[in-house]
Structure 1
Amino acid sequence: MTETSDSVEPRIVYLDEPTYITTGFLRSLAELGPVKVYYDRPNPAEAARRLADADIVIVEWTRLTRELLYKARHLKHIATVLSATDQVDLAAARQLGISVSHCPQYSVASVADHALTCVAALRRKLLPAHAAASAGVQHRYVPYRGRESGELVLGLLGVGRIGQAVAKQAAQLGMRVLGTNSSGTPVPGIDIVPLDELVRRSDVISVQVPARPDTAHLLSADLISNLRPDAIVISVSRHSVIDVEALVQRHRAGKLGGVALDDTPDDLVPALTAVPNTLLTPGVAWYTERARQENLHEVLDNVRSYLSGECRNAAF
């Protein structure tokens, strides 16, 4: 724990193990009020203790449940360092009058770059080709025939900030870009089509939607069964938005061209890694030097904005 100020109000608590933090960030926070930073991931009882006297909490890993929020008697604002807000019980926060901010901007470019890097690796079958070369195979071509970007139709499941950034880069590579949204609202540079049509027509499906109750298994077993036999599936979302078990079954049957997931259910990791042309990453789609720096700026701006009465990047 680090204490950085002796002033009284507002009391700011960084609740849990910062992935990245700087003295400059802490100095700027301390100008707003007394700051305590904790460098571990608390259990619920310890989280409740840390929240007890906080006016503002910055959170990264801890699930802020209804029970925890009801115990946080002084809490007025939650600043999550993530773009997602699924770790906070938003309904309880709203009921208690606790405002919530998130960080939707800092990782847009990095996540889009990650998604298209995965597309490139899978469409050129670099993972199985690397395994073959590492085993001493040379100048064997047929199993590793790739596809050029200009041949592909990219289907975006999610056409928000990240989806639009993926679309822009994909178009520059010559891909035709389809997308889907619940409203059918036009999006510049993306042909909006119904979800079932997008699945049938796309060579690559890129998933970038927030995890919410209404997006659970949005890429469902039925939709997965309608994917093209050589389709590539990329996801930078929480695994809950995909029926991953159905995806595994289709991939194991040899009916997909490749799969890349940045979040995977633990119990399905062995089955997925056993299938060639599978790329699993541990939630690092956002993680670049620039994104780390911009994340701190966004968190700080959100806290300052709340204190000024504006609540920038409000979650509701």
Structure 2
Amino acid sequence: MKPVVVLASPVPDDVLQQLEAQSQLRRFDAPRAKADLAAFHAALADAEGLIGVGLKIDAAFLAHAPKLKVVSTISAGYDTIKVDDLTARGVALFNTSGALAGTTADTALALMLAVARRVVELDRWVRDGHWRQNLPAEFFGVDVQGKTLGIIGMGSIGAEVARRGALGFGMRVLYTKRTPHPQAEQAFGARRCELDELLSQSDFVCVTVPLTPQTRNLLGAAEMARMKPKAILINIARGGIIDEAALAAALASGHLAGAGLDVFETEPVLADNPLLQLANVVALPHIGSATQETRHAMAVSAGQNLLRALAGEPDLANAVNPGVFGAA
């Protein structure tokens, strides 16, 4: 008997066909109306698998899904999912961090270059008709090459940022992580250190850790005060990791030279967010993985994560809580 799977988000046709071939698939498109929500909960009653993006799952949600074994999110982040609640129920959670690591790292480097060379600010300057002479020195940017790059979190995305910084721009790489990352140390010369040292020594600080209770507001006013003067902060992880009011103050005071932000605490970002009023901020609409190739690869990965786990052959490299399978 094929397992019952609930699909809560659209997926490409090839992924849909694979899910239909290997499961009893029930499709829902992000149910919002009460009638849709009731049908969604009814479908969950027999579901062994759930796949989608932007899933919000806690103990109350799981009460509607007594047979659930596997959740596969089409994303790297899982801050809307209570992992402890899934683990307590023996439900496995998989993400797609490997599929999007390179593209998200590209976004980090794009933000670094855009802020350092003041690309967005000078684009506006040209469009507004100010280019009538050689660029005044007050509009000069700073080099990226040869600088020190601090990466907060050295998972698959952080390692790809390190690769690009070290091999592409000759940057010295510092990183924080609960455990060492020997591959990054060997291949890119990365050095593991404490957060305080990373902040005080880095010209560019890139945030790549997931948002958890432990990382919420990880960078507040005290941490920004310890950052190297005129450093540049890049966030490609989640907005809640950075205290936005503290960041705005550090940027407005000139202590930090700039920030490149792909994520915000409230998304879509509110028009009155003080960060949007600062010329030394480059703001993007959470596009870290937003290329056609990568979004397709993420959907393929999520489908495979789900089907392999339901078949008893899980890819633990993509498991958020591998302990449910007895793995460390």
Partner of 2:30: 40
What is residue 157 of structure 2 aligned with on the other side? 162
On the 8 A contact 1:167/1:177 being kept in 2, the answer is yes
Q: 1:185 to 1:296 in 2, by over 3 A?
A: closer
1:184-242, Cα deviation, whole Å (9 max, x unpaired): 56542212222111111111100000111121222232111122231110011111212
Distance 1:148 1:106 in 2: 30
Contact 1:264 1:280 in 2 (8 A): no
Stretch moving more, 296-305 or 39-48: 39-48
Query: SS of the counterpart of 2:227?
Result: coil
Structure 2 SS opposite 1:205: strand
Aligned to 1:218: 218
Stretch moving more, 204-213 or 125-134? 125-134
Task: Pick from 180, 188, 198 the counterpart of residue 176 of structure 2.
Answer: 180
Are 2:319 and 1:314 aligned? yes
Distance of 1:107 and 1:56 partners within structure 2: 22
Q: Which has the higher contact order (CA 8 A, sep 6+)?
A: 2
Change (3 A) 1:92 1:240: same
Task: Find the counterpart in structure 1 of residue 252 from structure 2.
Answer: 252
Residue 14 of structure 2 corresponds to residue 24 of structure 1 = yes
Please give the residue correspondences for 1:37-186 in structure 2 after superposition, counting only pairs within 5 Å.
37-42=27-32, 45-46=37-38, 47-138=40-131, 139=133, 140-171=135-166, 172-183=168-179, 186=182
CA distance 1:152–1:41, change in 2 (3 Å): farther
Where in structure 1 are there 5+ consecutive unaligned residues? 1-7
Contact 1:184 1:193 in 2 (8 A): no
Q: Give 1:275 shift.
A: 0.5
Summarize the Cα distance change of 1:161–1:90 in structure 2 as closer, same or farther, 3 Å threshold: same
Return the offset for 1:151: 4.1
| Number of equivalent positions | 306
TM-score normalised to structure 2 length: 0.87
Structure 1 residue 121: Cα displacement: 0.5
RMSD (Å), alpha carbons: 2.0
CA distance in 1, matches of 2:272, 2:201: 28
Distance across 2 between alignment mates of 1:196 and 1:230: 16
SS in 1 for 2:218: coil
Asked if the contact 1:11–1:56 (Cα under 8 Å) also holds between the matched residues in 2, the reply is yes
In 2: Cα distance, 1:36 partner to 1:217 partner: 38
SS at match of 2:151: strand
User: What's the offset of the Cα at 1:86?
Assistant: 2.1
**Structure 2: how far apart are the matches of 1:185 and 1:109?**
17
**Structure 2 stretches of 5 or more lacking a match?**
322-328
Identity value in percent: 26
Contact 2:206 2:235 in 1 (8 A): yes
Q: Distance in 1 between matches of 2:82 and 2:47?
A: 17
- In 2, the alpha carbon distance for the partners of 1:100 and 1:94 equals 8
Greater Cα shift, 38-47 or 230-239: 38-47
Is 1:196 paired with 2:190?
A: no
For 2:273 and 2:81, locate their aligned partners in 1 and report how far apart those are by CA, in whole Å: 30
